[in-house]
Amino acid sequence: MGRFVPLSIPNFEGNEETYVLDAVRQGWVSTGGAYITELEEKLVSFTGAPAVAACQSGTAALHLALLECNVQPEDMVIVPTLTFIAAVNPVRYQFADPVFMDCDDSLCMDPEKLARFCREECELRKGVRDKGDAGVPKEADDEEYLVYRRSGQRIRAVIVVHVFGNLADMEAVMDIAARYHLRVIEDATEALGSVFTSGRYAGRMAGTIGDFGAYSFNGNKIITTGGGGAVTAADPGELSHIRYISTQAKDDPLFYVHDEIGYNYRMTNLQAALGVAQMEELPEFIRRKTENYNAYKEQLSGYKKGFLLPFRKNTKPNYWFYSLVLNEDTRKNGVRSLVQRLQEQGVQTRPVWGLIHQQKPYGGCIAYRIEKAVFYSERIINLPSGTQLTEEDLAYVVEVLRGI
């Protein structure tokens, strides 16, 4: 068998086996155990978030955030179309409607179009109490809230995804959210460790700027717990409530008293043991990914069939995934064909996701002036970016690209 360079695979070169076996030997393998608390503490220390709750997946983290935002049936949530579908599905879990927004050249949500949508398609209203039964807290009659003018639906929140570890323009997003009374959920599932280096949020990491943040520890992420995720909250009280509903909302666990609907979303101690070991290696993983991105950038200099997508200025990203943007001539030959030809020579790549507003479950949803997302969805492939990528592997990937 010839050389094979995978896209991204887990890296277990630290204390993973030691900690997981320790959890097994202690008998703490489910949703209780010291490793869960230790992982949460390490995430707080690393990210600077006020509080973190470990959960079953990045998707669960997003759903818990939407629950805490009090998203109701028939409400609206603004989401990107260029992202993995798991960023949007939790909106439907709440029987709410997504509003799809375009991306800018960072691949993250375009704040100019976000502002334009809020300004031209929506309006602020006062004096109408919240939907829901008597158990839903009523809002003050003089509170302003945003509605979509054509339907009168309330827009509760915006989910901003830091795509491939690239940071969205959070200064602009947070200003828009403040102006229109929207809650901000940062989908940082691909961006653990990405940090702003200047501006209002200098020193702040992805997932710690909005009202809530979501991380994923899926097998292909920069660190992994197999499956798993975590949710942050700017308000420790809201995070406490999230932790409560993530463990079936137990008011009295001995006599099984539950005052709210709960969810089985808590991370297991086995997953957390793996995560504690991975957190020890995270700075080294980011260093390697940074080094490999710069090596790709140097070796692909002058490449006539495309270019390596840059990351936002004034940030230090985690460089989770590298995006090769193909030019028009190459695109006409088909991204699918190129991915297949690279695979035949042992180089695993992938196209960017299919745009979500074009997916069958989301037909008929509002898609606001989607342009750049279409452009990039037809031109991007992700190059091998794992932390085990060697100099020889990287050089081989570039050699194959130049030869096709």
| CATH number for the domain that contains residue 327 | 3.90.1150.10
CB atoms within 10 A of CB 131: 12
pLDDT at residue number 130: 55
Is residue 60 domain-shared with residue 142, that is, in the same domain?
Answer: yes
Query: Final residue of a domain: which of 277, 300, 316?
Result: 277
Q: Kindly state the DSSP code that residue 378 receives in the 8-state scheme.
A: T
Can you give the CATH number for the domain in which 195 is found? 3.40.640.10
Tokens of 399: 């050699």
Cα–Cα distances (Å) from 382 to 81, 289, 298, 305, 347, in that order, read 18, 14, 17, 14, 11
Cα–Cα distance for residue pair 291/125, rounded to 1 Å: 50
Q: For residue 3, how far is the Cα from the chain centroid?
A: 32
Is residue 292 domain-shared with residue 242, that is, in the same domain?
Answer: no
> How far separated are the first and last CA of the chain, in Å rounded?
21
Is beta strand 183-187 parallel, antiparallel or unpaired with respect to 212-216?
Answer: parallel
Is residue 291 domain-shared with residue 267, that is, in the same domain?
Answer: no
Does a structural domain hold residue 194? yes
pLDDT at residue number 333: 67
Does a structural domain hold residue 10? no
Query: Final residue of a domain: which of 277, 295, 324?
Result: 277
Does a structural domain hold residue 335? yes
Amino acid at 99: V
Query: Final residue of a domain: which of 243, 277, 311?
Result: 277
Burial of 321 by CB count in 10 Å (0-12 exposed, 13-18 middle, 19+ buried)?
buried
Is residue 203 domain-shared with residue 154, that is, in the same domain?
Answer: yes
Does a structural domain hold residue 135? yes
Write the CB contacts of 254 (distance below 8 Å, at least 6 apart in sequence). none
Cα–Cα distance for residue pair 273/37, rounded to 1 Å: 10
Does a structural domain hold residue 8? no
Of 208, 178, 176, the residue nearest 191 (C-alpha): 208
Q: Is the dihedral of CA 313, 319, 321, 327 positive or negative?
A: positive
Is residue 137 domain-shared with residue 256, that is, in the same domain?
Answer: yes
Does a structural domain hold residue 11? no
* Residue appearing with tokens 């798993």: 228
Is residue 365 domain-shared with residue 322, that is, in the same domain?
Answer: yes
Does a structural domain hold residue 6? no
Q: How many domains does the chain have?
A: 2
Is residue 91 domain-shared with residue 203, that is, in the same domain?
Answer: yes
Strand partners, 232: 52, 213
Is residue 391 domain-shared with residue 341, that is, in the same domain?
Answer: yes
| Three-class secondary structure of residue 232 per DSSP | strand
Does a structural domain hold residue 207? yes
The answer to whether residues 106 and 312 touch, using CB atoms and an 8 Å cutoff, is yes
Is residue 273 domain-shared with residue 326, that is, in the same domain?
Answer: no
CA-based angle 180:181:185, to the nearest 5? Answer: 110
Please list the pLDDT of the chain residue by residue as tens digits (404 residues).
479 999 999 999 999 999 999 999 999 999 999 999 999 999 999 999 999 999 999 999 999 999 999 999 999 999 999 999 999 999 999 999 999 999 999 999 999 999 999 999 999 999 654 554 434 445 555 789 999 999 999 999 999 999 999 999 999 999 999 999 999 999 999 999 999 999 999 999 999 999 999 999 999 999 999 999 999 999 999 999 999 999 999 998 889 999 999 999 999 999 999 999 999 999 999 999 999 999 999 999 999 999 999 999 999 999 999 999 999 776 666 788 899 999 999 999 999 999 999 999 999 999 999 999 999 999 999 999 999 999 999 999 999 999 98
Cα–Cα distance for residue pair 56/247, rounded to 1 Å: 11
pLDDT at residue number 137: 47
pLDDT at residue number 328: 78
Is residue 271 domain-shared with residue 375, that is, in the same domain?
Answer: no
Is residue 188 domain-shared with residue 63, that is, in the same domain?
Answer: yes
pTM, full prediction: 0.95
Is beta strand 380-383 parallel, antiparallel or unpaired with respect to 350-351?
Answer: antiparallel
What range does the domain containing 155 cover?
Answer: 16-277
Q: Is the dihedral of CA 35, 36, 40, 46 positive or negative?
A: positive
Cα–Cα distance for residue pair 157/174, rounded to 1 Å: 11
Is residue 23 domain-shared with residue 127, that is, in the same domain?
Answer: yes
Cα–Cα distance for residue pair 67/157, rounded to 1 Å: 11
